[in-house]
Structure formats: structure tokens, C-alpha cells
């Protein structure tokens, strides 16, 4: 896997900045500045970056981002970058919002910490009520965590304990889609469908079962020209998997509204309605993993609203605080809560920092910004322009597919547009790791070049972005992708 800032060998060959000199606020330190050098050395010596080939920094600079403002972030040397990935699908309201930071500081001085084990605190109560009000249908109960992986892990554990509690102890399996990412803790990793990041940790907890994803660009031949037929087939594969495994052994299906990994696969029309029917038919819990897709990414508070389906559980994290403090959780239906509402039944699960008071206060302030600035309205008003701006890139020979919804897009890169031939592993390695990631970063765009499925570039900018930011993204991508093509 590549990261947005994996430095490859080609930094020196990166194209010149299409926007002119981006950088350099007055008096910003240069590469030779002692403070910059010291921080670089310290980072190389002590910091372990996630999902990152650390060896690639042996001779190259570690990208150090020091501050953010609105849709942009700045590195140690004052160079500006358009944050086309909202950090990591997180910074919905953009960077540098003092009112949100101050809400956290205020809460820290009032009550910095108290657990949600047996006790409650006001901000967690207020936030739980607010999320329940925003969530679709009867999702009225919030179980907080600190991250998306913990949220996914919690949903699987709840599904298992729920079925044991209601007398169906055989149900423990979970279905999820090919190459979908659902997190990295052992349980979440068993649900994740990316073989390459699972393999070093096998054996994982038993029960993860894969079903096809909704990548229409790579649909099987018999439905390649029929989007709805493809959706029916992909949903029916879930039914076939349930029957194959034995319905009495299946606890839950985990699906993102738009699958991130692989490069933004929206659901075909009718897909989720059919999945809902199938889950109801076999008594299987439908978990909508909205760690990325909630909080405006698709123009709604929850992705399931956009595609009109009712989940039994929604998992969330990231955008709930726009990253001003970590928080995750799951919204659970009254039906699943019911066996735990009376008698001695207890959901035997918890983590120390779940629903942290500072994070809860920050989440409330974040949601205030959503309302005050009508961020959902901004996404809905501008998403068509985002799409058409990115679709201009279709005139490049390397751009095979532009797909997504809301402010969440993937651009699939191909070797041959007509045949949709993808790159070999070696070409992918040279193209993405060796050139694209670094060149896009050098050109001032933070986005993600990913080849865990077919090679894609992903964009998920802050929800405050507008047409001028889309144009900036398109121009940088055009320049860098043109250069990439000339190197193949
Ligand atoms: C859909 C989905 N689920 C779960 C996770 C895991 O979240 P975290 O990294 O906060 O543990 C992610 C992270 O990107 C995700 O995209």
C-alpha cells in the first residue's frame, strides 16, 4: 500500500508546481535550517509512521505538517498544500477552527476525564442524544469508542453477544466485501477484505466471509452493461454466501455506503434495498460502516440516508469531531438494545477513553459548525461541479474511471482505456510508489495514491471546499498524471 506521502526515488523529477510557487511564507525556514534538520533527524530516529515503509525516509525528508488553515495545511518550511483528503477522511470542517479547539479546552478545564464505565458525563449524554436525533429510524443508542476500528470491533462483539443473549448462540460469522477496509485491530482486520494487510497476522479470529464489492467498472461480463442487474447480482451474492455458510451461523453483514478501499464504489440503484430484504429474511444484522461516509462526506449526516436504507448499527468515527480530538462509536437500534435493557444482561465490553469528555465537547462544537455553515447543503450544492471538474481528466489516456458521490471520489488509472487493462505489480510499484505519491505531494496536493485494489487516486476534501478548490485539484492532477503517462 502507498500512503499520500511515501517518498519515492523520483522526487527530483516531480513536475514543476502548476500553480506557481505555492510556498514560503515570509521568513519560513529552508531545508538547511537547524530546527528543520533536528526535527527531521528526530522523526527518522524515533517516530514509527503507520503503514509506511520507513526505509524510504532513510535518505528522503519526512513530510512534517505543522499547521492547518481552512482547506490547506503547511509544512515545516511554510509550503502550502491543498488538503484533498481531509487528513485521512477526517477534517470535514477544515483546519484551524478556534471555536472547536476552544470547546475542547473549556471542557478540559471543567472535567478532563471520567469514564463511561458505570458513570456518565454531560457531554457524552448530550452528544448521544444529538446523534440519535440525527440518525435514521430507531438508531437511538450510542456506544462510544475512540476509533473506527474499535467501533467495528464493538459492532461485531455486540452482534455476537446479542445472538447469544436471545438464544441463537451459533451466529458469529460476518460478511464483508472484497478489498473493503474496516480497520486494523484483530477483529476488525478479520472483517477487512484486503489479503495483503491480513496475511502477516493470520490466523485471525474465525468467521470473516467475503462477498463481491460493487465495482461496476470491473463488473463481470454478464452484467457489465447493466448497472441495476449488477447491483442485484452483487446483493444476491450476499444471500448465496449466507446460505452457503448456513444462516444459523451468520451474525452480521458489514458494508460501507460507498466502499472506500479499491477507490470509491457507490452502491448500484436498488442494491441496499435488496441487501436489507436479505438481512431481514435470514435474521442477519446489517451494519453500515460509516467511519468515512458519515458526517457530510456524502452530503448527509449518514450515508445510509443518502441511499435510503435502514441499518441496524451504524459505526462512525473520523468526521464526528473533524479530528479536533479522537472519537468513534456505534449507533444501535432499539431492537438490538432491548435484551440489554432489563434484568442482569450486560454488554461486556468497554475502553477507557471512549466518549472522552473533551472529544464529546469537540464533537458537539463540530456539529454546531455543520449547522451554522450548512455544510451538508454546501456538499449537495457543489457535488455535481466536483464530479464534472474531475471528469475533465477523462481526456488523459491514463484515466480509466472517475467514480464516487458527494465529496468522495476515486480516479482509477489504467494502462489501456479501451481494454481497461490495469498495470502490472511492477508498473504499479514504479508508478504509484516511485512517482505519483511524491509528485502529487510536491505539486501541493494531499490525496491518496493507492494500489490495494487496482491503482486509484482518492479525493475526499474538507466539506468547506468549493469550485476553486476542485479546479486546483484538477490542474495538479492533470499536470502530474500527464507526466506519469510519459514515464510508462
Ligand atoms: C470504513 C472504515 N472502517 C473502519 C476504519 C478504521 O478506523 P480507525 O482508523 O479510526 O481505527 C476505517 C479507517 O479508515 C474505515 O475507513
pLDDT score recorded for residue 23: 42
The per-residue pLDDT string of the chain (488 residues; one tens digit each, 9 = 90 and over) reads 343 333 332 232 222 233 333 444 556 788 789 999 999 999 999 999 999 999 989 888 999 999 999 999 999 999 999 999 999 999 999 999 999 999 999 999 999 999 999 999 999 999 999 999 999 999 999 999 999 999 999 999 999 999 999 999 999 999 999 999 999 999 999 999 999 999 999 999 999 999 999 999 999 999 999 999 999 999 999 999 999 999 999 999 999 999 999 999 999 999 999 999 999 999 999 999 999 999 999 999 999 999 999 999 999 999 999 999 999 999 999 999 999 999 999 999 999 999 999 999 999 999 999 999 999 999 999 999 999 999 999 999 999 999 999 999 999 999 999 999 999 988 888 888 789 999 999 999 999 998 888 899 999 999 999 999 999 999 999 999 999 999 88
Cα 148 to ligand 1 centre (Å) = 4
- What confidence score (pLDDT) does residue 161 get? 98
* Secondary structure class of 210 (helix, strand, coil): strand
Whole-number pLDDT of residue 27: 62
Cα–chain-centroid distance for residue 207?
24
Task: From 152, 259, 319, 330, give the residue whose CB has the most ligand 1 atoms within 8 Å, as the site to mutate.
Answer: 152
Q: What are the strands of the beta sheet with 399-405, ordered from one edge?
A: 399-405, 408-413, 456-459, 448-450
Check if 444 has its Cβ closer than 6 Å to any atom of ligand 1: no
The residue whose CA has the least distance to atom 3 of ligand 1 is 182
Cα(429) to ligand 1 centroid in Å equals 24
Atom of ligand 1 nearest to the CA of 89: 14
- Identify the helix (H) or strand (E) that includes residue 358: helix 357-372
User: Would you list the DSSP string of 300-354?
Assistant: SSSHHHHTT---SEEEE-GGGTTTSS--EEEEEEHHHHGGGSSTT-------TTT
- Any atom of ligand 1 within 6 Å of the Cβ of 148: yes
Enumerate the H helices of 84-179 as residue ranges: 86-89, 98-110, 122-134, 148-165
pTM for the complete prediction?
Answer: 0.94
Burial of 308 (0-12, 13-18, 19+ CB in 10 A): exposed
Q: Which atom of ligand 1 is nearest to the CA of 292?
A: 16
Q: Is the CB of 193 under 6 A from ligand 1?
A: no
- 379-400 pLDDT tens trace: 999 999 999 999 999 999 999 9
Cβ atoms of 318 and 341 closer than 8 Å: no
In ligand 1, the atom with minimum distance to the C-alpha of 147 is 10
* pLDDT at residue 11 in the model: 30
Q: Would you call 40 helix, strand, or coil by DSSP?
A: helix
| Ligand 1 atom nearest residue 290's Cα | 1
Which atom of ligand 1 is closest in space to residue 88's alpha carbon? 14
- Residue 300 CB–ligand 1 contact under 6 Å: no
Q: Would you say the CB of residue 408 lies under 6 angstroms from ligand 1?
A: no
Cell numbers found for residue 129: 442524544
CA of 150 to the centre of ligand 1 (A): 9
The C-alpha cell that represents 358 in the structure block: 473533551
**Atom 8, ligand 1: which residue's CA is nearest?**
148
Q: In this predicted model, what pLDDT tens digit does every residue of 222-243 receive, in sequence order?
A: 999 999 999 999 999 999 999 9
| 362 CA to centre of ligand 1 in angstroms | 20
Mutational pocket test of ligand 1: of 179, 181, 319, the residue with most ligand atoms within 8 Å of the beta carbon: 181
From 292, 302, 303, 326, the mutation candidate for ligand 1 (largest count of ligand atoms within 8 A of CB) is 292
**What distance in angstroms lies between residue 131's CA and the mean position of ligand 1's atoms?**
19
Single out the residue of 472, 367, 357, 408 nearest to residue 97, CA to CA: 367
CA-nearest residue for atom 7, ligand 1, is 148
pLDDT score for 146: 98
461 close to 409: Cβ distance less than 8 angstroms:
no
Amino acid at each position: 500500500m502507498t500512503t499520500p506521502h511515501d517518498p519515492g526515488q523520483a522526487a527530483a523529477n516531480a513536475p514543476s508546481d502548476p500553480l506557481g510557487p505555492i510556498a514560503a511564507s515570509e521568513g519560513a525556514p529552508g531545508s538547511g535550517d537547524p530546527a528543520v534538520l533536528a526535527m527531521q533527524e528526530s522523526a527518522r530516529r524515533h517516530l514509527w509512521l503507520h503503514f509506511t515503509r520507513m526505509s524510504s525516509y532513510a535518505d528522503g525528508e519526512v513530510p512534517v505538517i505543522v499547521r492547518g488553515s481552512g482547506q490547506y495545511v503547511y509544512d515545516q518550511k511554510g509550503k502550502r498544500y491543498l488538503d484533498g483528503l481531509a487528513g485521512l477522511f477526517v477534517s470535514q470542517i477544515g483546519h484551524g477552527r478556534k471555536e472547536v479547539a476552544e470547546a475542547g479546552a473549556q471542557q478540559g478545564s471543567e472535567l478532563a476525564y471520567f469514564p463511561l464505565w458505570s458513570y456518565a458525563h454531560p457531554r457524552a449524554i448530550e452528544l448521544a442524544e444529538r446523534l440519535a436525533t440525527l440518525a435514521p429510524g430507531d438508531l437511538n443508542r450510542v456506544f462510544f469508542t475512540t476509533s473506527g476500528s474499535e467501533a467495528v470491533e464493538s459492532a461485531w462483539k455486540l452482534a455476537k453477544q446479542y445472538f447469544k443473549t436471545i438464544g441463537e448462540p451459533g451466529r458469529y460469522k460476518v460478511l464483508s466485501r472484497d478489498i473493503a477496509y474496516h480497520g486494523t485491530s484483530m477483529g476488525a482486520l478479520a472483517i477487512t477484505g484486503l489479503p495483503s494487510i491480513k496475511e502477516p497476522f493470520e490466523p485471525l479470529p474465525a468467521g470473516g466471509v467475503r462477498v463481491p464489492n460493487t465495482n461496476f467498472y470491473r463488473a463481470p461480463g454478464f452484467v457489465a452493461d447493466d448497472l441495476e442487474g449488477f447491483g442485484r447480482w452483487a446483493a444476491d451474492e450476499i444471500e448465496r454466501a449466507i446460505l452457503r455458510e448456513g444462516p444459523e451461523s451468520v451474525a452480521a453483514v458489514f458494508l460501507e455506503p460507498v466502499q472506500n478501499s479499491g477507490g470509491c464504489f457507490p452502491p448500484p440503484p436498488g442494491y441496499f434495498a435488496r441487501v436489507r430484504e436479505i438481512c431481514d429474511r435470514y435474521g442477519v444484522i446489517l451494519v453500515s460502516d460509516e467511519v468515512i461516509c458519515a458526517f457530510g462526506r456524502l452530503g448527509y449526516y449518514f450515508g445510509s440516508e443518502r441511499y435510503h436504507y435502514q441499518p441496524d448499527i451504524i459505526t462512525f468515527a473520523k468526521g464526528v469531531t473533524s479530528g479536533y480530538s479522537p472519537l468513534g462509536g456505534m449507533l444501535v437500534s432499539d431492537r438490538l438494545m432491548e435484551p440489554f435493557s432489563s434484568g442482569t444482561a450486560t454488554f461486556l465490553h468497554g475502553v477507557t477513553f471512549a466518549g472522552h469528555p473533551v472529544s464529546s465537547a469537540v464533537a458537539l462544537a463540530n456539529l454546531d459548525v455543520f449547522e451554522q455553515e450548512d455544510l451538508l447543503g454546501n456538499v449537495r450544492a457543489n457535488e455535481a461541479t466536483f464530479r464534472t471538474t474531475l471528469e475533465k481528466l477523462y481526456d488523459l489516456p491514463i484515466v480509466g474511471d472517475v467514480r464516487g458521490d458527494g465529496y468522495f471520489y476515486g480516479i482509477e488509472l489504467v494502462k489501456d482505456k479501451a481494454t481497461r487493462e490495469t498495470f502490472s505489480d511492477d508498473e504499479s510499484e514504479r508508478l504509484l510508489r516511485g512517482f505519483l505519491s511524491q509528485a502529487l505531494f510536491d505539486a501541493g496536493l494531499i490525496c491518496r495514491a493507492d494500489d490495494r485494489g487496482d491503482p486509484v487516486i482518492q479525493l475526499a476534501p474538507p466539506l468547506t471546499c468549493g469550485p476553486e478548490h476542485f479546479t486546483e485539484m484538477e490542474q495538479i492532477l492533470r499536470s502530474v498524471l500527464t507526466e506519469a503517462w510519459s514515464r510508462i
